[in-house]
Amino acid sequence: MTATPAIETRFFAFESDFVGSLRCIPMIVRYKLDTCRVKLQLADWARLNYDEKDLLAEMPCHTGPEIEIYTDYVNELVWKYTNTVPGLLKNLDPSWLYADVPAEVHERTQEWNCPAISASQWMRLDILERFALVKLSRSGHEGRNFPRALAELGLAPARPA
C-alpha cells in the first residue's frame, strides 16, 4: 500500500446534522476508505455501532502498515454484520491531489452560482478539504452541502439555510 499524507481526524461543520450520531459516513472516514480503496456501502455503515464508526474516524490510515490494518478492520466489521466483505474501488481519480482545481469542482461552483476557486485558493486548502469538495461535487444527495462547504472553507459567502 502506498503511504498518503497524514490527515488529522476532524469533522466539518457542514456535516453537523449527522456527525453526532454518525448516521452518514463523514468525510474523514470516506477519505480513509478511498485510501484503502474500499467501497463501503451506506447500508453496511448503518449496521456498525457508534464506537466502531468512531474508531474508523480516529484510526490512523496513512502509512503502508496503517492502511493494511485499517482495511482489515473495515473488512472484519462488515463481515461481522453481513458475512460479506466490502467491494474494492476499481477506478479512483484522486483529483484532490492535483494542483489545478478539478473540472467537477469548477462545474459545481458554476451550478451553485458560487465564486470560482482559483488555483492558489485550491492549493491553500488541506488534502481533506480538497477531498471534501471533490466528493461533494460528485455526490447527488449531498449536493446541498457544497455551498455550505465553500462557505466553511472561506471560499464563498454563507447562504441562508
Q: Which residue shows C-alpha cell 472484519? A: 76
* Whole-number Å distance between alpha carbons of 147 and 14: 9
Whose CA is closest to 135, among 42, 29, 27, 45?
27
Q: Is 99 helix (H, G, I), strand (E, B) or coil?
A: coil
* Whole-number Å distance between alpha carbons of 85 and 81: 10
Contact 32, 68 (CB under 8 A): no
pLDDT digits (tens, 9 = 90+) for 71-81: 999 999 999 99
Q: Which residues of the chain are modeled with pLDDT < 70?
A: 1-2, 139-142, 160-161
Residue 139's pLDDT is what?
Answer: 65
Contact 105, 137 (CB under 8 A): yes
Q: Which amino acid is at 128?
A: L
Q: Which residue shows C-alpha cell 466483505? A: 85
* Whole-number Å distance between alpha carbons of 131 and 30: 9
- What pTM did the predictor assign? 0.91
* Whole-number Å distance between alpha carbons of 90 and 102: 20
